[in-house]
Structure 1
Amino acid sequence: MKCIQVDKLGMLFLVFLVSGVMSYSAPKEKQEVLDIDAYLKAADPQLIYPTALQIEMLKKVVPQEAFQPAPPISDRKHWDRVADGEEGKEYLKEALAQLDKAPEVPITDEIYRRANKEGNRGIYKPRYYRTMDRLERYILGECIENKGRFLPQIVVYVDSIVAMKSWMHPNHDDRENSVLEGKRVAIDLGARKFGLVLAMANSLLEDKLPAALKAKIDEQLQWRIMDSYLRSCKGEDTKSNTWIRSTSNWNSVCTSGTIFTTIVASKSYDERIAAIGCALNSMVYYLSGFGADGYCSEGTGYWNYGFGHYLYLAEILDDYTNGKVDLISFNDPQKLNNVANFPERFQIHEGMYSPFADGVTRIKPGSDNFAYVMAAKHYGAKKPLTFVPDESVQSLIVWKDGDDYTAPYTKTVLPAYTYFDDMGIVISRGSQRIPFSISMKAGHNAENHNHMDVGSYVVVLGDDYISGDIGAPSYIAGAFSDHNPARSSWGHPVPRINNTLQSKGKEHKGIITKTRFQKNKDMVTMDIKAAYEIPELKILNRTMINDRNGNGTITVSDEFKTSSPVIFGTAVMVNVDYKVVDEKTIVITSENQKVKAEVSSNGAAFKITDEVVPVKHLRSGKKSYRIGIDFVEPLTSGSITVRYTPIEE
């Protein structure tokens, strides 16, 4: 995931630019609209590539000409209007300030191989994106100024990108570096952007670029993007581009970039039709990654990244077909509405989220928010304060009234609880002056960015995270291993039985069996037995109670029964200060708050043993601790309860 902070000036320019694009586009006429249900019914379940019937359906709604994403440089009426505005002048000034910077690609083979082996993104990723971002600025700068000052650098940058052996992120190549070695071609989160930036250059700059360079761009896009994509969708290349069936953000991000490139750059009508058909079939997989309740197991950060690119794809197809291909509603309008409103509902307190899987705890101010703007536009979601695009090409989508989908700050009033009943996520919110709340998940252990975390939870007091899920490891070598302590259930506040952790797979899940939501107390019970492959385990229930009376009390209890004695324990996880003050009490101290965690049990005595989580690179940047709570003897039944209460000072 890539977040780019864009200054206010750049944002204003992009909104201004988009308003000009609207005047360029033809009026929408919806004489014939693609019947999405009929289209999807006509698909071949074995292939992403569209069937003959699907292609015939698309020919009725897709125009013969290629997609023009914005007015070309020859449309001086448009670009001179941009140039005369204050925003255009300042944007041009900023583009000129970067004009002397050299491209930072290609990287050396040695750096590529090292990044592949170590998973070290820092030694290449900033270079990739700085290069692409500058090239975008140069392209638009030249469109504004039309003096040729940017053209030499554009040529240099294009040549540098063309010279790259691989457009992929090195850590996305296989262990043999086969893309680098020229043994295959593949599209990833980086390659799709290299492609779309070059496609934008050819489209907007027209004959301002040398004919030989334009031909070279066409050749590269055909080889690295269009041919690679369609071969994978036909099933001819099963190793590359496996994201075409992914339920994660990879699918929507790579698909949106690939489709932009194809419908802009391809000289073949049949090829453009086929690519659109593939995208529609592929999006069925992407959307299946969300719960019917709209829950995104990847968290709010990846929701913005993935769903934002889905909505970008929806916008460009809507524009290209004059509204005849509708991905905003697609085949399940209610589900899409739920997905669009996910971030608002997923908040524990305003601006605070559960870091389940690889999710984030907070959204940084100034982060890109294209998905939020589009969700407000199409689904009535809360309007963000400003529009901060992730990429310049997002400014080229066609909506005239982008400002209408931003609004001044208003305080969010969250309900007492939110229940994502399809995926099994409950957020129980406190009503105190300093609200004391908990978010808890059932889910399963084959989610996107999966952690083995059925039964995990997060306790929050006011603006502070107190206890629970410690979040994701940083993305370096070993980060995605099931044995990484921050990804396995060892590093989560869930039981460990006979020294056995939770297993991976969709069948290893939790089921919420009982809920009771009342004014002063919420209760949730979930059966998490299936998360463990332990034959003697007969019952394993986790119950959460949030008592809102007074300053609040939150309890988490685990009850088990087995056919033979087992060693049973659970854990309190923290990445803030704490102290084990006696054999049953832990005092947790965050930046602004202090909470007492009292442990009790039925069945036998227990012991508390704390240890550091042995992961050097957690995304939080903090040192985390596992405070184990284990029975001192094997049992066939028992329970352990952790009772959290705020401490007033």
Structure 2
Amino acid sequence: MTSTAARGSRVRLAEGVAPGPLLGRWGTTASPDALIGVLAPPGRALPLPSLSGEPPARALERVRERAEAERGSPWPQPLATQYAGYFRDGDRTVYESGVFGRQERLTRAVLMAAANGSDEWLDEAADGIVLVCEQSSWCWPAHEESCRSRGTVVPDPAAPCLDLGAGDVAAQLAWADHMLGERLDERFPGLRDRLRAEVRWRVLEPFTRRRDWHWLGLDGRVHNWCPWICGNVLVAALRLAEPGAERARQVALAIEGLDRYLAALPGDGSVDEGYEYWWNGACRALEALDVLEHATSGELRAADVPVVRETVRFPYRMHLGGAWYVNFADARALPPPEQPWHVLHRWARRIGDPDGMRHAAAHRAGTVTPAAELGRALSELADTTWLEAGPAGPPLVASAWLPGTQVGVARTAHGTDRGLALAVKGGHNDENHNHNDVGSVVVAVDGTPAVVDAGRPTYTARTFGPDRYAIWTMRSGWHSVPEVRGTPQGQGASFSARDVAVADGPDAFQVRLDLAGAYPVEGLERWWRTARLDREDGGVTIEDSWAFTDAGPPSEVRFLLSGQVRRDAPGRVTIRPPGGGRAAVLSWDPERAAGSLTERALDDPLLVAVWGDRLTRLRLELPGTASGSLLVRVEVRP
């Protein structure tokens, strides 16, 4: 007998949604009918870490200090004026900060209540649970559907919108119930019924009823929202839904979403949203797969799925050195250091990747961050191998080429950030979190970027709206790419790199690509860019050569530079990147291109936190000839 949910899944597959790496491997084991008999009951569906003993106590030190300092103070209270502020002036930070502050405090209270068993901490946790349940909407205002359709600035509680925020709360309440359930029943009878009703109404019911959520990726556009929300729904359904057909259907639909996301990843496991978003995309999928394996007593395992194994390697392949990473798209070159490194460590152990284990261990803080999500904190505390892991140095691989996103990274020598590192990006201009940056390069000195990608400023209403490319950091003119006869790169998937060729050997790493397809310029036949790291002399060269049907207006080659930039002589600038380390020298033939420097003052807090108070753009003006070339060289200053 085939259930309605299973028939619906097969209809979708017949309409073009083919099974991905999970469903293709697991088959009917992941169908609703089969899951009814495979899923553990709610009380055992999630792992239950022990918070007693020395390693967990030591790991909770910072959480305990923060929780004790805030107990007795007023809870963060998101306000209607802050919610409305997004629709009035585009500010999403003020409201979201209050929401995040409340949820982070609730997590700390749950951890403390679970760790020491006191009624005082249980009361603190219950207060937080009730406050969250009383919140009009769990959806962040930037994602709220009811406001857009009704022209209002406050949410409609009768029309819950399932977004990242709502999924986060549902999973948090599920983990809180998992850790404190019976004690909440004794001290706050009825509270667990309340949180179940809220999660069912706001999250589980909309998830199963509606299949038009954009983040499901049924239109072919799959991004990090899909595993993030599906993973949280999975946790909520496993713990808070009643055993039976509906719970199995919820889990099956969550698995389908995870499968769709993994199917959308290139076979090399790369993420077009950039390294920083790996933690809220691929890592979210890995966390959900952890939960799923536990809930099915190992029936549904994914450690041998090729794309899963490959994406575990993505973070260390993007590492430049220290805290710096390759940051194409909206990612930051200096991302938040406190990530769930234990997830990477655990999956690297599973697939037998010592480089992944070393990379994670090199970033280990030793304590749970006070801002950790509850599920992530509990996962970390349950991993005794991680808690007891010793120090390690990052692998700093010699090179990596990821054809799925056309991103290449290479350094002078394996195992050290000493010297230059080069990153090159091809791709197209309609990627997730896209910047118009086909052909962009990053050059780091001793691990710190000198030729840079600015990254993104603070999110506002403009960031994901029709005015996205009015933001300067998104435009090609502020990336290290050409400006062809006064024309920036076009926006859309058709504006892409062509004829990409990669050579990677012991002496050099080189990427050659034709950028002509990225520019809507009549008469442009070819614009070759060749970026090369020479391991023999330690230098980087970027050569641009062009061919038009005839002569015309001049073009420019532009480079975005960090830190202190000084023009030493015609055809030569010195770049001392942030941190005061060694400088780089960028040089070219001044007879072929006149150079000029323009400083851009920074005032956005996210950009300032990475680059300081300014970035500098170098503009090299090229003659308007039908053909020609320009070679730029970067080397470490002697």
TM-score interval, normalised by the smaller of the two chains:
0.7 to 0.9
Cα distance in 2, alignment partners of residues 136 and 640 from structure 1: 56
| 1:428-447 aligned within 5 A | 428-431=410-413, 434-447=418-431
1:419 is aligned with what amino acid? W
Cα distance in 2, alignment partners of residues 423 and 450 from structure 1: 12
1:440 is aligned with what amino acid? V
What's 1:371 paired with? 343
Deviation of the 1:451 alpha carbon: 0.8
1:641 is aligned with what amino acid? L
1:171 to 101, 118, 142: 142
| 1:191-340 aligned within 5 A | 191-203=166-178, 204-206=180-182, 207-233=185-211, 235=212, 238=213, 247-267=222-242, 269-329=244-304, 333-340=305-312
Q: Is the 8 A contact 1:341 1:375 kept in 2?
A: no
Q: Is the 8 A contact 2:417 2:447 kept in 1?
A: no
What's 1:452 paired with? 436
What SS does structure 1 have at the residue aligned with 2:530? strand
What's 2:512 paired with? 525
Deviation of the 1:458 alpha carbon: 0.8
1:599 to 565, 588, 594: 588
Cα distance in 1, alignment partners of residues 18 and 423 from structure 2: 37
Cα distance in 1, alignment partners of residues 346 and 35 from structure 2: 25
Q: Is the 8 A contact 1:304 1:370 kept in 2?
A: no
Cα distance in 1, alignment partners of residues 420 and 524 from structure 2: 33
Cα distance in 2, alignment partners of residues 158 and 409 from structure 1: 37
1:208 is aligned with what amino acid? E
Per-residue CA deviations over 1:353-400 (Å, capped at 9, x if unaligned) read 212112233455544424322322322322433464632223545996
Cα distance in 2, alignment partners of residues 515 and 143 from structure 1: 53
TM-score (norm 1): 0.81
Q: Sort the Cα spacing of 1:322 and 1:231 in 2 relative to 1 into closer, same or farther, 3 A.
A: same
Q: Sort the Cα spacing of 1:536 and 1:63 in 2 relative to 1 into closer, same or farther, 3 A.
A: same
1:570 to 530, 537, 557: 557
Q: Sort the Cα spacing of 1:303 and 1:85 in 2 relative to 1 into closer, same or farther, 3 A.
A: closer
What SS does structure 2 have at the residue aligned with 1:449? coil
Q: Is the 8 A contact 1:473 1:487 kept in 2?
A: no
Cα distance in 2, alignment partners of residues 580 and 63 from structure 1: 66
Deviation of the 1:486 alpha carbon: 0.8
1:226 is aligned with what amino acid? L
| 1:20-31 aligned within 5 A | none
2:164 to 189, 206, 225: 189
Deviation of the 1:576 alpha carbon: 1.7
What SS does structure 2 have at the residue aligned with 1:565? coil
1:629 is aligned with what amino acid? L
Per-residue CA deviations over 1:267-301 (Å, capped at 9, x if unaligned) read 25222111111112212332245321122222322
2:510 is aligned with what amino acid? M
Deviation of the 1:243 alpha carbon: 9.4
Per-residue CA deviations over 1:42-101 (Å, capped at 9, x if unaligned) read 8454789999993334335334656543569xxxxx78x669996599777865554313
Per-residue CA deviations over 1:591-621 (Å, capped at 9, x if unaligned) read 22232222238xx953323323476425325
The answer to whether the aligner puts 1:418 opposite 2:400 as a matched pair is yes
Higher percent of residues as helix: 2
What's 2:133 paired with? 162
Q: Is the 8 A contact 1:48 1:278 kept in 2?
A: no
The answer to whether the aligner puts 1:402 opposite 2:388 as a matched pair is no
Q: Sort the Cα spacing of 1:88 and 1:488 in 2 relative to 1 into closer, same or farther, 3 A.
A: closer
| 1:601-640 aligned within 5 A | 605-613=592-600, 616-617=603-604, 619=607, 620-622=610-612, 623-632=614-623, 634-640=624-630
The answer to whether the aligner puts 1:125 opposite 2:109 as a matched pair is no
Cα distance in 1, alignment partners of residues 10 and 316 from structure 2: 31
Q: 51-60 or 376-385, which moves further after superposition?
A: 51-60
Cα RMSD of the aligned pairs, angstroms, is 3.6
Q: Is the 8 A contact 1:232 1:240 kept in 2?
A: no
Deviation of the 1:340 alpha carbon: 0.3
1:541 to 513, 528, 536: 528
Q: Is the 8 A contact 1:485 1:615 kept in 2?
A: no
Q: Return 5+ residue gaps in structure 1 as ranges.
A: 1-35, 73-77
What SS does structure 1 have at the residue aligned with 2:631? strand
Q: Which runs of 4+ in 1 moved over 6 A?
A: 39-42, 46-53, 82-85, 88-94, 239-245
TM-score (norm 2): 0.83
Q: Is the 8 A contact 2:342 2:386 kept in 1?
A: no
Cα distance in 1, alignment partners of residues 58 and 390 from structure 2: 21
Per-residue CA deviations over 1:396-442 (Å, capped at 9, x if unaligned) read 45996532586333334544322223322222312499412211111
Cα distance in 1, alignment partners of residues 167 and 15 from structure 2: 25
Per-residue CA deviations over 1:472-512 (Å, capped at 9, x if unaligned) read 22323434412312111111011111322212223322245
Q: Is the 8 A contact 2:82 2:95 kept in 1?
A: yes
1:635 is aligned with what amino acid? T
Cα distance in 2, alignment partners of residues 146 and 412 from structure 1: 39
The answer to whether the aligner puts 1:555 opposite 2:541 as a matched pair is yes
What SS does structure 2 have at the residue aligned with 1:150? helix
Q: Return 5+ residue gaps in structure 2 as ranges.
A: 1-5
Q: Is the 8 A contact 2:399 2:410 kept in 1?
A: yes
What's 2:482 paired with? 495
Deviation of the 1:627 alpha carbon: 1.6
Per-residue CA deviations over 1:224-245 (Å, capped at 9, x if unaligned) read 1111211223x4xx57877997
Q: Is the 8 A contact 1:66 1:267 kept in 2?
A: no
Q: Sort the Cα spacing of 1:155 and 1:516 in 2 relative to 1 into closer, same or farther, 3 A.
A: closer
Cα distance in 1, alignment partners of residues 357 and 138 from structure 2: 37
What SS does structure 1 have at the residue aligned with 2:573? strand
Cα distance in 2, alignment partners of residues 159 and 244 from structure 1: 37
Cα distance in 1, alignment partners of residues 153 and 17 from structure 2: 25
